[in-house]
Amino acid sequence: MVTIKDIAQRAGVAKSTVSRYLNGGSVSQKTRAKLDEIVKETGYTPNTFAQSLKAKHTKMIGMIIPRLDSYSANEVLASIDASLRDQQYQLLITNANQSIEREIENIYTLAKQKVAGIILMATIITEAHRKAIAEVDIPVLLLGQVGEGLHTISHQEYEAGFTMGSYAKNLGHKKYLYLSVFKEDVAVGQLRAQGVLDALKEGADRTVEVIETSFSFQEAYEQALVILPSTQATFIICATDNIAMAVLKAAHTLDMSIPQQFSLAGFGGYATTSIVTPSITTVKYPYKELGKVAVEQILELVSGKPMKEHIALPNRLEIRESTVPF
């Protein structure tokens, strides 16, 4: 039988390099190509499966995500996946497609699959959520939204909104437009929005119009096509970078110039916001950190240790080309 040692010898690299390669860690492209070749030739089979059959409990964590096309959810997921891997845990991911029923259903499904714990990125927390969490009797950790009495790791949403609002106010604009999302989403639809509005509220010569739009790029884009031609705002703050990107695209379509005609800002710190022209001012959220802390906490819960009920991570403003003084 071929072992990791055999492969290391054939490739002329250290055993730890092979191990890193097999675990999806960082390996040079040249070494990776060589190891791919050797694994292919030797038909090497890792014995993790054999190990997991021997183990008494499944070392698995279940995850419920709201959408498959969310940049932020994917960043958090990648970080959770890597951290769990470091702890020899596997991750089973299920999509709820922004449906409450599917969120609840997935809690039960994952419990039935005998995962050791569940990380839930919910949009809202209903009584049905609480009932399911109580019934499955395994640790459930909420991510992103705060559920009173439930274990939660979230972002400092109000502070993020307040930081952005204060920055915009200091640029001296008078007419603001805030593109929000539905209010049932407490983190984004309420806290983030309230932070923005509180920062902008003082001063009689300032007006802030709030319009509700959607997390969906396409829906936000179509709405922006209608809103932009008639808005008086010289500063548009969007509840997410995804919405800001949709507004940018709509401005392109309508031949409007940013930041000449209006300043534009978002929240999240999505990679794409730094590639587009103009690059978009945003509040950068620590998605990787959120994933890391989530794994630490769920594994504490799984091992029966207590955790603080609520942890909220800070974020920071990133000023880019899309925002200018009035």
Binding to a second copy in span 179-208, by CB under 8 A: 182-184
User: Could you give the CA distance from residue 223 to residue 246 in angstroms, rounded to a whole number?
Assistant: 9
Residues 6-25 that bind a second copy (CB under 8 A): 21-24
> Residue 102 contacts by C-beta under 8 Å, 6 or more apart in sequence?
95, 96
Smallest gap from residue 166 Cβ to a second copy (A): 29
205 contacts 229 by C-beta, under 8 angstroms: no
Work out which of 17, 83, 94, 323 binds a second copy, going by CB under 8 A.
94
135 contacts 294 by C-beta, under 8 angstroms: no
Q: Does 172 contact a second copy by CB under 8 A? A: no
Work out which of 8, 39, 188, 302 binds a second copy, going by CB under 8 A.
39
Q: Which residue has the tokens 């969007």?
A: 238
Smallest gap from residue 276 Cβ to a second copy (A): 6
Using only the alpha carbons of the chain, give its radius of gyration.
23
Work out which of 141, 248, 258, 264 binds a second copy, going by CB under 8 A.
248
Work out which of 6, 11, 102, 312 binds a second copy, going by CB under 8 A.
102
Residues 215-234 that bind a second copy (CB under 8 A): 217
114 contacts 60 by C-beta, under 8 angstroms: yes
Joined tokens for residue 129: 């959520």
Complex with a second copy: residue 55 or 204, whichever CB lies closer: 55
Q: Does 57 contact a second copy by CB under 8 A? A: no
> Residue 147 contacts by C-beta under 8 Å, 6 or more apart in sequence?
122, 125, 129, 130
Q: Does 90 contact a second copy by CB under 8 A? A: yes
Q: Does 87 contact a second copy by CB under 8 A? A: no
User: Could you give the CA distance from residue 262 to residue 309 in angstroms, rounded to a whole number?
Assistant: 41
End-to-end CA distance of the chain: 71
Q: 120 has which bridge partners? A: 64, 142
Q: Does 245 contact a second copy by CB under 8 A? A: yes
Residues 258-287 that bind a second copy (CB under 8 A): 271-272, 274-277
Q: 175 has which bridge partners? A: 207
Smallest gap from residue 202 Cβ to a second copy (A): 30
Q: Does 127 contact a second copy by CB under 8 A? A: yes
Smallest gap from residue 128 Cβ to a second copy (A): 5
- Give the total of residues touching a second copy (CB under 8 A): 72
User: Could you give the CA distance from residue 197 to residue 178 in angstroms, rounded to a whole number?
Assistant: 9
Complex with a second copy: residue 11 or 276, whichever CB lies closer: 276
